[in-house]
Amino acid sequence: MTEDLDSMTPTHLDATDSSSNSNNATAEKSTRSTSCQVAPTMSNSSLATLEYSIHISPRRMTRDLATVFPNQDLSNLLVVPTFQKCKHEMVAWDAEIAKEKDDRLEDFIRWSTALHKGLEKLGHWSDMTDPASGYPSFSERGRDIYPDVEGCQLLLKYDFQNTGCCKVLLHPKWGSKIYPATFFTTAPLDALQKVIAQVEQEYAA
C-alpha cells in the first residue's frame, strides 16, 4: 500500500480494488505499518473490552483529517483504531445485530470519553469519531467524515470484502465479527499510554 493511497474521504480512500486485494492478500498480511507505535493490544476494563493499536498518522492522512477536524492543529497526530469482538457477523442487519452494534458503540464511547477526560487534564487535545456518522464527538464538525473501515485498512493492512453496498473489514482473528471505531489525539505517545493504563486501573473489570 503506497503513500499515494492515503486519502481519507470515503470516495478516494480506496486502498485496493477486489482483484488486487485478492492477489496481494498474503503480502499484505505480512506487512507491518511503519507508522505503528503500539501493536494490537487488548484493553480490559468495566468500560469496554477491546483491542487497540497506536499509529503515527501518515502525512496525507493528517492533511485529509484537517477537513474532519477543522481549526485543529493536527501536528504529531496519533490515530488509535479499536476493535470489539462481536457475537454476530456485522454484515447482516436485524434487531439483534442492531442492538449489539448499539451496545458496542456505547462501550466505545465510555472508553474514549474516559481517555478524552484524562488527556484533557494533561492539556492535550483528543477526539473520537462516531462510527455511525463519521463525525467528531467533542470537536467542531468539518465538511468531511472519517471512514473507520478505510482508515483501519490503511493503517493495519487488514483484508476486506465487498458486500455490494459497502466494504466489510476482516480482522485477522475475528473476521467480520467486529465493531471498529477510532480515537485520535495529539498527545505524546507516553502520555496516551499513561492515560490508557490509568483508565484500565480505575475501571478494572
Residue 140 is predicted with a pLDDT of 95
Burial group, residue 110, by CB count within 10 angstroms (0-12, 13-18, 19+):
middle
**pTM of the model as a whole:** 0.84
Residue 94 is predicted with a pLDDT of 87
* CA dihedral of 151, 154, 155, 160, whole degrees rounded to 10: 90
Domain ranges for the chain: 3-202
Residue 28 is predicted with a pLDDT of 39
Radius of gyration of the chain (CA): 16
Residue 34 is predicted with a pLDDT of 61
Residue 190 is predicted with a pLDDT of 98
Could you tell me the CA-to-CA distances from 188 to 78, 123, 141, 195, 201 in Å, in that order?
Answer: 8, 11, 24, 11, 20
| Residues whose CB is less than 8 angstroms from the CB of residue 100 and which lie 6 or more positions away in sequence, other chains included | 86, 87, 88, 179
Helix, strand, coil fractions of the chain, as percent rounded to 5:
35, 25, 40
Phi, psi (5° rounding) for residue 204? -55, 135
Mean pLDDT per 10-residue segment, the chain (205 residues): 40 42 39 78 98 97 96 96 94 88 97 98 98 94 95 93 82 96 98 98 93
Strands (E), 14-86: 36-44, 49-56, 78-85
Residue 58 is predicted with a pLDDT of 96
